[in-house]
Amino acid sequence: MDKKILFELMKNSRISDRMLAKILGVSQPTVSRRRVFLERELIDGYTAIPKWDKFGYEILAVILVKAQLKFAPEEERKDAIDRSNRWLSKQPNVIFGSECRGMGITGIMICLHKNYADFDKFMNQHRQQLGDLFEDVQTFVVNLAGKSVYRPFHLKYLAEAE
């Protein structure tokens, strides 16, 4: 039941409990109780997903980094992670950042930029402030304003797969 409610909310977070109950074939009080539980324990928040290009964001960038500190002492590694997290927390255009594993890559960031100049400035600041921590930084850029976005970012697709 919780998974079904969650997937319906991923399709439309504004749906009423009454409508959700009707779709799922259960009572509205049951949906309300489960929704409260989900919002307290499992749902991190609700958000609108804009059409980024309509808000002037032309670039979505995926930045992959390879840290030099893979075999560094624990304290040095912890300091580098803390420094990276402090920098990352001040970047409002970064919508996701995490450690990762695979192909020698140890970190990933996904960010949005108004244009190439904004992206270039961001990358220069990243290099100046954290460049000493990385042995390699790779990027790829998606043109959000072009006609080649075939499936815009949305979690409803995941819900529809179930």
- Measured CA to CA, the distance from residue 122 to residue 113 in angstroms comes to 9
Query: Is 162 within a domain?
Result: no
Q: What is the mean pLDDT of residues 91-109?
A: 91
- Cβ-Cβ contacts under 8 Å for 13 (sequence gap 6 or more): 46
3-state class (DSSP) for residue 80: helix
In this structure, the answer to whether residues 34 and 56 fall within a common structural domain is no
Task: Label residue 22 by pLDDT band (50, 70, 90).
Answer: very high
Lowest mean pLDDT among 72-76, 78-82, 117-121, 134-138: 72-76
What pLDDT sits at residue 75? 87
pLDDT > 90? residue 28: yes
The answer to whether residues 35 and 59 belong to one domain is no
Quick check: is 152 in a domain? no
Domain co-membership, 28 together with 71: no
User: Based on the domain organization, do 56 and 103 belong to the same domain?
Assistant: yes
**Secondary structure of residue 137 in the 3-state scheme:** strand
Count of domains forming the chain: 2
Provide long-range contacts, Cβ within 8 A and 24+ apart, for 154-157.
154/49, 155/10, 155/49, 156/10, 156/11, 156/12
Whether residues 26 and 57 fall in one domain: no
The pLDDT of residue 146 is above 70: yes
Same domain? 23 vs 84 = no
What is the token pair recorded at 102? 């695979």
75 shares a domain with 116: yes
- Residue 150 is assigned to a structural domain of this protein: no
Tokens of 74: 């624990």
- CATH code of residue 72: 3.30.70.920
Q: Higher pLDDT residue, 48 or 92?
A: 92
Question: Does residue 15 carry a pLDDT above 90?
Answer: yes
Provide the residue range defining the domain that includes 125: 52-143
**Does the pLDDT value for residue 72 go beyond 90?**
no
Residue at 34 is within a domain: yes
The mean pLDDT of the chain is 89
- 70 confidence band (pLDDT: 50, 70, 90): low
> Taking 90 as the threshold, does the pLDDT of residue 157 lie above it?
no
Listed residue (17, 6, 3, 18) closest to 43, CA to CA? 6
Mean pLDDT of all residues in 113-132:
94
